[in-house]
């Protein structure tokens, strides 16, 4: 892709306009009138250091009015804009491609209100996920989303990507939990739909377009979200299993035995656990080695009741030999270290140099076949091996098993066109044949721009483009990405 020449190049006058508007030195990173390359680096490169933009200006507004004025100006001048939250996205959507202005939400970080009775939190888009959860915790509630990047991602970014994460199995997706939004359209219009109503069937539910819209329609400036009651009794178990067939059975049995207290069911294959161990030096929870591991979490209101259920479940899966070995966390520290074996894979996945990540929805019975087939593919094409002349070190699979969401990761020593060619479009074709999704929860960004057609029909793509044209006729919002 080439830079779109319809977009204006930034001038010193533009920069001055923004400086006057934001009126705060630290709110503008100006690489237009001076050299600010070191400071711009962090805004231009993504979490994986795989995508790199060339932004020369970063704006950090502190109010919705400022966002509105920035966008109205950009729209009039045809300046392209890249919304950015915590910059933890995994598909290259959060960094510019060329010289788009980065509009970073980090200074919009206030909790606006929390209703103790309903559990409804209203907060600025730039609030860090972990801080939102800690705020909810003070009132006895829990944020309905949790993920490994919680310490840096923002709730606006979470909503913009419709992030799924570790609690979706229990609390459902943001499409259900987000009750309202405040957003700014490219022409500066403020859309105040910050509803706190649980039910509201008055015509099209337009906020849904922003949820998972990946910053292509406007900027989310605030979110209203319903938080469920925080469970006082939480248990975590980590199991080793001999086959994927056993994992499927364990999932089925966990639903049957644990039913309403089951709050997570996560899958990790042995390769993913080795990767985690290699990267962190941590000791794995079980002595023996098994091809598959899973992590089960229960959350309930009565620890005696939950323990009784959990014990009955454990007895059943062990005696039926569905599970080969397992451990249940005895205290908070152990609980965290079991969770780390799952949450830490993301960070560990680049340990050998780099990683090709695929985030897929696949019907459960076939979910792991892709990992096995992919591994075979790299063995037979000679690209994978123990010595450094092979680009591929390992092919691993893990993910949100309870949501039929597989993360296929190809851990590489270096990025290599031959590896990419062996993977794409092969992975996407494989998923399409099973009516799966090429993006379960991470979004499309730049990474999957070319491949949307594997999961969406011509008709749906046309409708998406028409919607984009209505909201953003000049196409200034997050250009070059999937739409």
- Written as six digits, the tokens of 320 are 């039926």
> Containing H/E element for 268?
strand 262-269
Query: Binding partner of residue 160 among ligand MLT, ligand FAD, none, CB under 5 to 8 Å per kind?
Result: ligand FAD
Residue 47 vs 114, nearer CB to ligand MLT: 47
Residue 257 found at the interface with ligand MLT (CB under 6 A): no
The binding site for ligand FAD (CB under 6 A) comprises: 47, 82-90, 93-94, 105, 125, 147-149, 153-154, 156-158, 160-161, 163-165, 214-215, 219-220, 346-347, 441-442, 445, 478
Q: Judged by CB under 6 A, which of 68, 162, 216, 346 binds ligand MLT? A: 346
Question: What is the nearest approach in angstroms of ligand MLT to the Cβ of residue 13?
Answer: 42
How does DSSP assign 345-358, residue by residue? HHHHTTTTSEEEEE
- Beta partners for residue 30, in sequence order: 57
Return the closest-CA partner of residue 103 out of 138, 64, 67.
67
- Written as six digits, the tokens of 243 are 């086959």
Rg (C-alpha) for the chain, rounded Å, is 23
Residue 104 vs 346, nearer CB to ligand MLT: 346
Query: Binding partner of residue 407 among ligand FAD, ligand MLT, none, CB under 5 to 8 Å per kind?
Result: ligand MLT
Residue 33 vs 130, nearer CB to ligand MLT: 130
Strands 81-84 and 219-226: unpaired
Q: CA–CA separation, 336 vs 417, rounded Å? A: 38
Size of the residue set binding ligand MLT (CB under 6 A): 8
Q: Which residue in the shown chain puts its C-beta closest to ligand FAD?
A: 157
Q: CA–CA separation, 378 vs 197, rounded Å? A: 51
Q: CA–CA separation, 377 vs 160, rounded Å? A: 35
Residue 79 vs 296, nearer CB to ligand MLT: 296
Residue 87 vs 221, nearer CB to ligand MLT: 87
Residue 295 vs 329, nearer CB to ligand MLT: 295
Question: What is the nearest approach in angstroms of ligand FAD to the Cβ of residue 344?
Answer: 9
Q: CA–CA separation, 138 vs 49, rounded Å? A: 36
Residue 170 found at the interface with ligand MLT (CB under 6 A): no
Burial of 6 (0-12, 13-18, 19+ CB in 10 A): exposed
Q: Write out the residues near ligand MLT by the rule CB under 6 A.
A: 90, 148, 345-346, 349, 357, 359, 407
């Amino acid at each position: 892709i080439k830079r779109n020449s319809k977009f204006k190049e930034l001038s010193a006058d533009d920069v001055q306009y923004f400086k006057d508007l934001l009126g705060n030195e630290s709110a503008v990173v100006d690489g237009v009138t001076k050299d600010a390359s070191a400071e711009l680096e962090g805004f231009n490169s993504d979490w994986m250091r795989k995508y790199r933009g060339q932004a020369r200006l970063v704006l950090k507004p502190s109010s919705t009015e400022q966002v509105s004025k920035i966008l109205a100006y950009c729209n009039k001048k045809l300046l392209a804009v890249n919304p950015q939250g915590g910059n933890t996205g995994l598909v290259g959507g959060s960094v510019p491609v060329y010289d788009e202005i980065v509009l970073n939400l980090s200074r919009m970080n206030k909790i606006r209100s929390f209703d103790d009775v309903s559990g409804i939190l209203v907060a600025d888009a730039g609030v860090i996920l972990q801080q939102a959860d800690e705020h909810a915790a003070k009132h006895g509630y829990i944020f309905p989303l949790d993920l490994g990047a919680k310490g840096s991602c923002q709730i606006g970014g979470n909503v913009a990507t419709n992030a799924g994460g570790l609690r979706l199995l229990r609390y459902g997706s943001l499409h259900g939990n987000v009750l309202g939004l405040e957003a700014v359209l490219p022409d500066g219009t403020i859309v105040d739909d910050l509803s706190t109503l649980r039910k509201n069937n008055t015509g099209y539910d337009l906020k849904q377009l922003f949820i998972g819209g990946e910053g292509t329609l406007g900027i989310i400036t605030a979110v209203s979200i319903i938080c469920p009651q925080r469970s006082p009794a939480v248990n975590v178990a980590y199991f080793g299993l001999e086959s994927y067939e056993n994992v499927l059975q364990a999932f089925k049995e966990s639903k049957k035995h644990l039913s309403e207290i089951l709050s997570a069911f996560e899958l990790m294959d042995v390769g993913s656990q080795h990767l985690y161990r290699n990267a962190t030096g941590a000791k794995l929870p079980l002595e023996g080695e098994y091809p598959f591991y899973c992590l089960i979490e229960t959350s309930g209101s009565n620890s005696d009741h939950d323990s009784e259920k959990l014990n009955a479940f454990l007895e059943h899966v062990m005696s039926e030999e569905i599970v080969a070995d397992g451990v249940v966390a005895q205290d908070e520290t152990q609980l965290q270290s079991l969770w780390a074996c799952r949450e830490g894979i993301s960070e560990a996945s680049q340990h050998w140099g780099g990683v090709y990540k695929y985030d897929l929805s696949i019907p459960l019975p076939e979910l792991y076949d892709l990992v096995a087939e992919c591994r075979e593919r790299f063995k037979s094409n000679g690209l994978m091996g123990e010595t450094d002349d092979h680009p591929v070190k390992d092919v691993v699979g893990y993910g949100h098993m309870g949501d039929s969401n597989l993360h296929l990761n190809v851990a590489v020593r270096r990025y290599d066109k031959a590896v990419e060619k062996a993977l794409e479009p092969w992975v996407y074709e494989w998923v399409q044949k099973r009516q799966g999704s090429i993006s379960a929860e991470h979004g499309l960004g730049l990474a999957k721009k070319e491949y949307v057609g594997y999961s969406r029909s011509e008709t749906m793509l046309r409708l998406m483009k028409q919607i984009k044209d209505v909201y953003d006729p000049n196409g200034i919002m997050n250009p070059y990405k999937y739409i």
